[in-house]
Structure 1
Amino acid sequence: MKSITATELALLIENKNDFQLVDVREPEEHDEFNIGGQLIPLGEIAHQLHKISTDKPVIIYCRKGIRSQIAIQRLQDKFPFTNLINLVGGTEAWKREFRV
């Protein structure tokens, strides 16, 4: 499974690289704190495939990096996604790295 750190993601954002950012947490978690991107909760991701890009990197995140790993596994097990990247440590790592 491909992965990215909070620092690497921040550089992609800063450099305006073309990628999709997907938050697989629940709406209330997203509302409390997020690093941007589109909210597609883990329980809905299989029904929202049309929202996930196949032609650019897709960085998936959650609070600690576990649900995002599960989302990637589920998607790769059923569909030929090769562009999915897990944010290691999720929003918790982002908060630690950038003292948010």
Structure 2
Amino acid sequence: MIYDKIITPLQLKKKIANEDELFIIDTRENTSFLKPIDSAIRLPASKIMEKLDTLPKEKPIILYCSHGVDSFFLMNILITEYGYTDVYSLKSGLEGWHKFIEKGAQ
């Protein structure tokens, strides 16, 4: 189910800390004042279909946007229309990530 493909900031932090092999994509069209996640590559949602051949199918892809809405829809398209299975959307997006980090998450 698609809703099982939402990853929380805590889950992502643990995966990064464990040095899990991830492909993290910042899909925001315009960068905001918020600092991107360190290991993320920048690939705006409007350009992602042009770059499908660069997206790995052999490791998890984590998508995020500002609030988690656009990345959720993009994740759904990658799964249902392009056959990706190991793709996730960051719950609450980059804003949720920064709120989580600012709280001093363990």
Contact map agreement 1:25 1:42 (CA 8 A) in 2: yes
Contact map agreement 2:27 2:65 (CA 8 A) in 1: yes
- 5 Å-filtered alignment, 1:18-97, equals 18-29=21-32, 32-36=34-38, 37-97=40-100
Give the gaps of 5 or more residues in structure 1. none
Runs of 4 or more consecutive aligned structure 1 residues displaced over 4 Å after TM superposition: none
Q: What is the deviation of 1:76?
A: 2.2
Contact map agreement 1:27 1:39 (CA 8 A) in 2: no
Q: 2-side partners of 1:27 and 1:90: how far apart?
A: 14
TM-score after normalising by structure 2 = 0.84
Give the gaps of 5 or more residues in structure 2. none
Q: What is the deviation of 1:27?
A: 4.5
Q: Please report the RMSD computed on the Cα atoms of aligned residues, expressed in angstroms.
A: 1.6
Q: What is the deviation of 1:8?
A: 0.9
Q: 2-side partners of 1:19 and 1:56: how far apart?
A: 6
Name the counterpart of 1:17: 20
Q: What is the deviation of 1:32?
A: 4.5
Q: 1-side partners of 2:97 and 2:10: how far apart?
A: 8
SS in 1 for 2:57: coil
Name the counterpart of 1:99: 102
SS in 2 for 1:85: strand
- When the two structures are aligned, how many residues end up with a matched partner? 99
**Residue by residue, what CA displacement relative to the aligned partner does 1:29-57 show, whole Å, maximum 9, x if unpaired?**
3x752013111111111111022110011
Q: What is the deviation of 1:60?
A: 0.6
